[in-house]
């Protein structure tokens, strides 16, 4: 149960931080329609986050709420992979970050539907519908930017260069994940990786982009060792709850 709690928090943190990052775009997108698309994905992820934190709070059984989980834990207690805390950068960076995430998230949720943990399976089922839109959206944009203008190609290649080192952490199993895999709570990441790699290869081909080879993969986020970005996210994110503790909003 402690393991499921840890894992659920890790998933929640992941959706939350990415949802937060995407929400930073609101009002600043390159075109209204895409501003709305970014907010939509952010909203879906925050929705998923809430279900997960609520479940985590129940598993913990100490009377904490979803907001306590989100607003009252510090940097090293957050367990999201490093990718999702990377800055928005330009639209190309945001698209590539989203594409790498979706290429994991979609296939992960698909497999998680079969978890022996029914609550996680149910959350996965609900989020999978949304994620299937996300992966379609981000894949299409990768293709557009890769096979668009010379500038867009250069920018998306720079984004690949910036973000690829963070694409491997999703599939590196923590001790918690290994234990849960043995107990059948979570799916086999190798299979997910195969689907994910195949999807990436297909989209990159259509985008006339190369999948980077032999890149050193960064990790640590799932164990609380983050990049310096997360601290700044949390100062902003948590400010009100920290400044005015224990109030209703």
Partner 1 sequence: MQEVEVNLEEQFEAKVAKDIRIEPKDWMPDAYRKTLIRQISQHAHSEIVGMLPEGNWITRAPSLKRKAILLAKVQDEAGHGLYLYSAAETLGASRDQMTADLHSGKAKYSSIFNYPTLSWADIGAIGWLVDGAAIMNQVPLCRTSYGPYARAMVRVCKEESFHQRQGFEIMMTLCNGAPEQKKMAQEAFNRWWWPTLMMFGPKDDESPNTAQSMRWRIKRFTNDELRQRFVDMMVPQAEFLGLTVPDKDLKWNEAKNGYDYGEVDWNEFWNVVKGNGPCNKQRIQTRVKAYEEGAWVREAALAHAEKRAQRESAKAEQAA
Dist. CA 179–CA 249, nearest whole Å: 38
Dist. CA 115–CA 204, nearest whole Å: 31
Q: Does 62 bind partner 1 (CB under 8 A)?
A: no
- 182 makes contact, choosing from a second copy, partner 1, none, with CB < 5 to 8 Å by partner type, with none
Give the residue from 11, 40, 4 showing the smallest Cα distance to 25.
Answer: 40
Residue 115 CA to chain centroid, in angstroms? 19
Q: Which of residues 142-171 bind partner 1 (CB under 8 A)?
A: 143-145, 147-149, 151-152, 155, 162, 165
Distances, alpha carbon 20 to alpha carbons 47, 49, 55, in Å: 12, 11, 20
Rounded to the nearest whole angstrom, what is the least distance from the CB of residue 241 to a second copy in the complex?
9
Binding mask 77-116 for partner 1 (x = CB under 8 A): -------------xxx------------------------
Q: Does 63 bind partner 1 (CB under 8 A)?
A: no
Do the beta carbons of residue 38 and residue 91 sit within 8 Å?
no
- 191 makes contact, choosing from a second copy, partner 1, none, with CB < 5 to 8 Å by partner type, with none
Do the beta carbons of residue 86 and residue 42 sit within 8 Å?
no
Rounded to the nearest whole angstrom, what is the least distance from the CB of residue 187 to partner 1 in the complex?
27
Q: Which is nearer to a second copy, 150 or 243 (CB)?
A: 243
Q: Which stretch binds partner 1 (CB under 8 A): 69-77, 128-136, 170-178, 181-189?
A: 69-77
């Amino acid at each position: 149960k402690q393991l499921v709690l840890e894992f659920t928090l890790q998933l929640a943190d992941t959706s939350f931080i990415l949802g937060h990052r995407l929400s930073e775009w609101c009002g600043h997108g390159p075109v209204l329609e895409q501003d709305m698309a970014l907010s939509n994905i952010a909203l879906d992820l925050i929705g998923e986050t809430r279900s997960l934190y609520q479940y985590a709070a129940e598993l913990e059984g100490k009377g904490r709420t979803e907001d306590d989980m989100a607003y009252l834990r510090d940097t090293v207690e957050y367990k999201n992979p490093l990718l999702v805390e990377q800055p928005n950068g330009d639209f190309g960076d945001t698209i590539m970050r989203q594409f790498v995430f979706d290429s994991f998230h979609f296939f992960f949720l698909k497999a998680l539907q079969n978890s022996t943990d029914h609550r996680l399976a149910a959350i996965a089922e609900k989020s999978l519908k949304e994620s299937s839109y996300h992966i379609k959206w981000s894949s299409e944009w990768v293709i557009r930017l890769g096979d668009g203008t010379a500038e867009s190609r250069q920018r998306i290649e720079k984004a690949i260069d910036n973000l690829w080192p963070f694409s491997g952490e999703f599939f590196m199993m923590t001790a918690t994940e290994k234990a849960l895999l043995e107990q059948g709570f979570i799916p086999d990441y190798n299979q997910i990786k195969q689907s994910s790699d195949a999807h990436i290869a297909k989209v990159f081909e259509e985008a006339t982009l190369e999948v980077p080879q032999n890149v050193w993969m960064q990790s640590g986020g799932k164990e609380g060792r983050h990049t310096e970005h997360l601290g700044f996210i949390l100062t902003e994110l948590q400010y009100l709850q920290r400044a005015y503790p224990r109030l209703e909003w």
